[in-house]
Amino acid sequence: MDFELSQEQESFRKVVADFAESEIRPYVAKWDEEKIFPLDVVKKMGEMGLFGLIFPEEYGGSGADFTTLCIAIEELAKVDSSVAITLSAGVGLGASPIYHFGSDEQKATWLPKLCSGEILGAFGLTEPDGGSDAGSTTTKAEKVGEDEWLINGAKAYITNSGTEITGFIVVTADTEEGVTAFLVPYGTPGLVVEPPYRKIGWHASDTHGVVLQDVRVTSDSIVGTIGKGFAQFLATLDEGRIAIAALALGLIQGCRDESVSYAQSRHAFGGPIGRYQGVSFKCADMDVDVEVVRNLVYKAAWLRDSGRPFKREAAIAKLYSSEAAMRAAKDAVQIFGGAGYMDETPVARYYRDAKILEIGEGTSEVQRVVLSRMLGL
């Protein structure tokens, strides 16, 4: 039994933590308020190799394991969930499908740019009329020539789909042979990125709807196998669940640290509020969840890195951590009282950022469905 990360992983954790303190924390309130996607910081993350962490060196990656990616996401999310989801989606939804299912040519064309952060890839699965029912794709791809496809449809809530450096979107579309994934480069006629959504949280993350109107692509833009688009997507989903759990882990720690610091400095009824159990017990509960979630995240990542099945553990980590993040954010705002309801406090941002964790990459209900089925129910 060994719970130690390697010395190199610990050094890397410190580098990412320093990065988050210096490059993110001083500016995050402004990004949140003005809904700014911090392109310069994302580029710096690319220079640090964060987007290429888990991919082989031949594509410009670092050849690190998934655990190391979780470390980076956790450290970023302690300070800001938006930047953390930009990384998580950039790797898990942008680059991973190309790496796992792309042709050699697609890998050679796109992976080096994705690994260096020169471009971001988007993944279009969810549609305006279908979220959890992701198999019911209404976007259609029709073969209109020897080597040509015509795609029509709309995709919703697509992360990293409207940044200045978004290079392509992979969309799932129904064909005569079943759901198939197509890579559509930005600039392709008929690909329209809608204005940004007005979101409760994740203000510094980039999210748009994407419309495909008579988009023409050739057969070499098919990612993976015709008719296997949905199955391929399911295969990469479990990793994304661990990544979201790592993000939740960072957010819970952010809530705990802000709460403890406020409980020590804020005085009421003749002393710091942390001496009252109504406050201190909330902090203690957050600390319990930090430990529980940490173990869930890194156990699931370790299973994945060891080549063992991890579907159940990924679902448990995602489900528990996102609900714990909501609890922690709710309690943190309560500890801050009226101040916590003001957007000037970081806990207000954590509160707004936490809710999506119970929805994105499979809702809590979907996780419970996964787990129920595994119990034979």
Partner 1 sequence: MNIAVCVKQIPDPAAPGRLDPNTFNLVREGKLVMDDSDSYGVEMALQLVDRAGGGEVTLISMAPNGETSGLRTALAMGAAKAVLVSDPALGGSDALSTAKVLAAAILRNPFDMVITATESTDGYTGTVPVQIAEILGLPAVSFAKKVTLDGNKAMIERQSESGYDEVACELPAVVSVTAGVVEPRYPSFKGIMAAKSKPIETLSLSDLGLSADQVGAAGAREAIVSLRKAEARQAGQIIEDDGEAFAKIIEYLEQLKVV
Active site (catalytic) residues: 361
Measured distance CA(132)–CA(208) in Å, rounded: 18
Give the residue with the Cβ less far from partner 1, 246 or 354.
246
Binding segment toward partner 1, per CB under 8 A, in 5-13, 88-96, 245-253, 288-296: 5-13
Cβ proximity to partner 1, 46 vs 250, nearer residue: 46
**How far is Cα 151 from Cα 213, in angstroms, rounded to an integer?**
7
Cβ closest to partner 1, residue 19 vs residue 168: 19
Phi-psi category of residue 149: left, alpha or beta, with phi > 0 → left and psi -120 to 50 → alpha: beta
| Helical segments of 306-344, H only | 311-336
Which is nearest to 269 in space by CA: 256, 259, 279?
279
- Choices 14-22, 90-98, 287-295, 296-304 (CB under 8 A): range interacting with partner 1: 14-22
Give yes or no for a contact between 204 and 37, defined as CB atoms under 8 angstroms apart: yes
Residues in contact with 127: Cβ distance below 8 Å, sequence separation at least 6, in sequence order: 137, 138, 139, 153, 154, 155, 156
What is the smallest separation between the CB atom of 74 and partner 1, expressed in angstroms? 14
Q: Does 21 bind partner 1 (CB under 8 A)?
A: no
What is the Cα–Cα distance from 306 to 350, expressed in whole angstroms?
Answer: 33
For partner 1, the binding residue among 44, 140, 266, 327 (CB under 8 A) is 44
Helix/strand/coil (H, E, C) string of 263-280?
Answer: HHHCEECCEEHHHCHHHH
Least separation in angstroms between CB 270 and partner 1: 26
Q: Which is nearer to partner 1, 62 or 96 (CB)?
A: 62
Residue 89 CA to residue 243 CA, distance in Å, equals 9
Nearest residue (CB) to partner 1, 63 versus 337? 63
User: Which tokens in the block code for residue 141?
Assistant: 């791809």
Q: How far apart are CA 178 and CA 70, in angstroms?
A: 33
The interface with partner 1 within residues 55-94 (CB under 8 A) comprises 57, 62-64, 68
Task: Name residues contacting partner 1, limited to 174-233 (CB under 8 A).
Answer: none
Identified binder of partner 1 from the candidate list 28, 41, 53, 354, rule CB under 8 A: 53
Give the shortest CB-56-to-partner 1 separation in angstroms: 11
Q: Which of residues 24, 48, 210, 255 is near partner 1 by CB under 8 A?
A: 48
Q: Tell me the site size for partner 1, rule CB under 8 A.
A: 16
Q: Of the two residues 10 and 344, which places its CB atom closer to partner 1 in the complex?
A: 10
- 55 burial (CB, 10 Å; 0-12 / 13-18 / 19+) is buried
Closest CB 22 distance from partner 1, rounded Å: 9
Give the footprint of partner 1 on this chain (CB under 8 A): 8, 11-12, 15, 18-19, 44, 47-49, 53, 57, 62-64, 68
